[in-house]
Structure 1
Amino acid sequence: MIELIFVIVILGILASVAIPRLAATKTDAEIATTVSNIRTLISDLGSYYVVKGEFGNAKWGDVTNVPIRLAGKKPAQGTIVVRNDTTQGAVYLPVDNIDCIVIRVKDRNGATPAYIEIAKTRSLKNTGICKEVLNAEPIKAFLDLRVPNVTPIEENDSGQREAGVITFGSSVTIY
């Protein structure tokens, strides 16, 4: 009986050490997946733009397989990449089924180059897994990218612009 109690105590100690490590591993996996999805999305959009020269009426499903969605968790694959409606063509990159990152694509317009805007979603940016993902160094690097003469749409509650901008044809390497 005493041996059984010792085994149970040892298992309890091991579990108390292992469970927090597993939670951290899940967060690390979400961060790695998000970084990979952003890189793939940028690459897919850039490749499409280089081949076609514009997005025209291209749909997200024609351009990439990255799981993105519209507001309300509807899949974005059937919608046009560059839209000029009230949502400004925003799609969301979910992290653990939460819309943490908003992405917009704009075609070339006069002196403004074609670009991708990557921003924090306003509503949930400071909570839970979103906060941890948005504070990860690779994601911060994407959000800090700037292009002269391009003003991102996304802004925080203080009116400051909170988005990274990547033009097509620029070389961006983020580790």
Structure 2
Amino acid sequence: MKKGFTMIELIFVIVILGILASVAIPRLASTRTDAEISAAVGNIRTLIGDLSSYYAAKGEFGNAKWGDVTNVPIRLAEQKSAQDTIIVRNDAATEGAVYLPVDNIDCIVIRVKDSNAARPAYIEIGKVRANKKKGTCKEVVEAEPIEAYLGLKVPGITPIEKNDNKEPEAGVIALGSSISIHQ
């Protein structure tokens, strides 16, 4: 008698492995997406905390650079790191915007404005309109903590970031206020 498997037995094993793989692969893909969302939420929270702490300690941003305040990976529109860039910039084209990338897509736009006589210092957090429906970015901007940040308002301050209908589409956090949003 010969030892080994019959063709039918091998086919059954291959079919069972195929069924197991069809169940496991989507779960692995969703785990990666969940990790990206968690990382983005954590990065936004860290960034807000770092900016708030720096402002509380110094009372202004002055010529501080992003790298002096935080290690959160943010970048300029040109895909360059923003770590050596001054936080409060008033350049007309970008109005001081930096971006939080998710899956190498600029997903969240952040602007910081220092205080003046008319308003407090604040952080604006908005969606990058062109990318808000791309890849993992869609899930990030729909995550509950990010939606909560995007819904924050400060009386007398209108966010720069607007949607296609010219309605404000960003949250504003006044520095010096106590904001705590939990997942």
TM superposition score category, shorter chain reference: over 0.9
Listed one character per residue, the Cα deviations across residues 45-66 of structure 1 (whole Å, up to 9, x for unaligned) are: 0111011110000000000000
2:97 aligned with 1:104? no
Structure 1 match to 2:136: 129
In 1, the alpha carbon distance for the partners of 2:37 and 2:148 equals: 13
Gaps of 5+ in 1: none
SS in 1 for 2:166: coil
SS in 2 for 1:123: helix
2:38 to 32, 35, 39: 32
> Which portions of structure 1, spanning 4 or more consecutive aligned residues, are displaced by more than 3 angstroms?
none
Equivalent residue number for residue 22 of structure 1: 28
Q: Which has the larger radius of gyration?
A: 2
Of 41, 49, 67, 2:47 maps to 41
The Cα of 1:77 is off from its aligned counterpart by 0.3
2:100 and 2:107 in contact (8 A); partners too: yes
| Deviation, structure 1 residue 4 | 2.1
Between the two proteins, what is the percent identity of the paired residues?
Answer: 74
* Partner of residue 3, structure 2: none
**More moved, 116-125 vs 3-12:** 3-12
Question: After superposition, what is the alpha-carbon deviation per residue over 1:100-155, rounded to whole angstroms, capped at 9, x for unaligned?
Answer: 10000000011200000000002111222111111111111110011111111000
Is the partner of 2:124 in helix, strand or coil? strand
AA of the residue aligned to 2:88: V
Task: Supply the distance in 2 between the matched residues of 1:19 and 1:72 (Cα, whole angstroms).
Answer: 35
**Partner residue of 1:140 out of 129, 147, 151:** 147
Number of aligned residues: 175
Q: Could you tell me how far apart the structure 2 residues matched to 1:34 and 1:157 are? A: 25
Contact in 1 for aligned 2:37/2:136 (Cα 8 Å): no
AA of the residue aligned to 2:159: P
Higher mean Cα deviation, 3-12 or 54-63?
3-12
Q: Would you say 1:85 and 2:91 are equivalent positions?
A: yes
**Alignment match of 2:101 (pick from 94, 119, 126):** 94
What CA distance in whole angstroms lies between the structure 2 residues aligned with 1:8 and 1:139?
Answer: 44
Report the AA paired with residue 31 of structure 1. I
Q: Which amino acid aligns with 1:45?
A: L
Cα RMSD, aligned residues only: 0.9
Give the aligned partner of residue 12 of structure 1: 18
Q: Which residue of 2 aligns with 1:118?
A: 125
> Structure 2 CA distance, aligned partners of 1:70 and 1:13?
45
After TM superposition, the score normalised by the length of structure 2 is: 0.93
